[in-house]
């Protein structure tokens, strides 16, 4: 139990304890003394000695009744229905340039991105997330889920080995993420796209994929990562800006780890669920148990009055 509807009634419990103690001092000792004087030559058995304390039973009955009237229960909070949250598909570039860069030392672009994405997920307890990884092709690593612990493990295990095809298939990643979002009933649906290169592989170009995302009311927040080129790789951040603009999202440049962290914090602020319902409070009442205890003790009291009246005060 962690909830009382009328917790102020519990203040009566200390009062009952004090009254019981006073009653014991003033009355019970008198009973013991009177029994001792009246039965000097009579052997008092153990049950008679124990029975001397039964007048205190009334205080236990009152105590359980007081607990029942205080409205005890187990209070639980249920998170809002998933329809009121935001569904986010993360499209993460795992191509060679993400791991072979030197501008995010002592780590690399991919590892820094993974760590910051995990932090981003931890801050959004009402949302669902999924993961698409891409290089020369795009693959679904995790469907939309509220199980953030499992998702964080999947993200941690993601690397260059996750996609064998070489290249950067941004269009395929967008269309795959859009496909996973199109049936979502969430209030807001977004794709968080992180890449450091130009689209040079895949079956679909990024602009066409972005137009498709727009049809399903999916916004794309794209982040162009890094400042240097790896092995002559091309960058096309203008294209990222265009696809974000098409869908009503936003484009960011992240030249280092601090800028990437700041970017994710900015997206976190922009895509807060401002109209989500508050957690639903459920209280499972327990007062009947205390009424039952009081009733049982009351029956015991009646039985004792009936059969042992001459000892009862």
pLDDT of 210-232, one tens digit each?
Answer: 999 999 999 999 888 876 554 44
Predicted TM-score (pTM) of the model is: 0.58
219 torsion bin: left (phi>0), alpha (psi -120 to 50), beta (else): beta
pLDDT at 243: 92
Taken in order of first residue, the domains within the chain and their CATH numbers are 3-77+281-311 (no CATH), 82-270 (3.40.50.410)
Long-range contacts of range 273-278, CB-CB < 8 Å, 24 or more positions apart? 273/84, 273/85, 273/86, 273/126, 273/127, 273/187, 273/188, 275/84, 275/187, 276/80, 276/84, 276/85, 276/126, 276/187, 277/80, 277/81, 277/84, 278/80
Degrees (nearest 5) of the Cα angle 187, 193, 199? 135
Task: Give the single-character DSSP code of 5.
Answer: T
Tokens representing 40 are: 């000097």
3-class DSSP state of 145: strand
Q: How confident is the model at residue 270 (pLDDT cuts 50, 70, 90)?
A: confident
pLDDT of 90-102, one tens digit each?
Answer: 999 888 888 877 7
C-alpha span between 40 and 55 (Å, rounded): 23
């Amino acid at each position: 139990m962690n909830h009382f509807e009328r917790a102020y009634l519990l203040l009566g419990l200390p009062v009952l304890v004090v009254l019981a103690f006073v009653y014991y001092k003033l009355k019970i000792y008198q009973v013991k003394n009177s029994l001792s004087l009246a039965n000097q030559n009579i052997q008092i058995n153990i049950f008679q000695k124990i029975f001397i304390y039964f007048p205190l039973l009334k205080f236990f009955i009152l105590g359980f009744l007081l607990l029942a009237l205080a409205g005890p229960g187990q209070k639980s909070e249920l998170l809002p229905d998933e329809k009121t949250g935001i569904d986010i598909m993360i499209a993460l570039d795992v191509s060679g340039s993400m791991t072979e860069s030197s501008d995010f030392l002592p780590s690399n672009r991919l590892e820094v991105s993974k760590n910051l994405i995990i932090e981003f997920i931890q801050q959004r307890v009402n949302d669902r997330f999924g993961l698409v990884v891409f290089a020369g092709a795009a693959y679904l690593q995790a469907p939309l889920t509220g199980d953030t612990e499992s998702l964080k493990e999947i993200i941690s295990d993601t690397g260059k080995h996750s996609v064998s095809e070489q290249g950067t298939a941004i269009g395929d990643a967008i269309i795959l993420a859009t496909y996973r979002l199109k049936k979502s009933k969430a209030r807001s649906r977004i794709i968080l796209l992180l890449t450091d290169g130009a689209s040079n592989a895949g079956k679909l170009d990024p602009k066409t994929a972005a137009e498709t995302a727009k049809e399903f009311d999916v916004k794309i927040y794209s982040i162009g990562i890094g400042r240097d080129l790896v092995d002559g790789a091309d960058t096309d951040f203008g294209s990222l800006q265009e696809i974000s603009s098409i869908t009503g999202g936003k484009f960011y440049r992240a030249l280092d780890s601090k800028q990437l962290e700041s970017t994710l914090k900015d997206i976190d602020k922009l895509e807060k669920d401002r109209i989500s319902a508050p957690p639903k409070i459920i209280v499972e009442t327990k007062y009947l148990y205390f009424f039952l205890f009081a009733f049982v003790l009351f029956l015991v009291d009646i039985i004792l009055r009936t059969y042992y009246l001459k000892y009862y005060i």
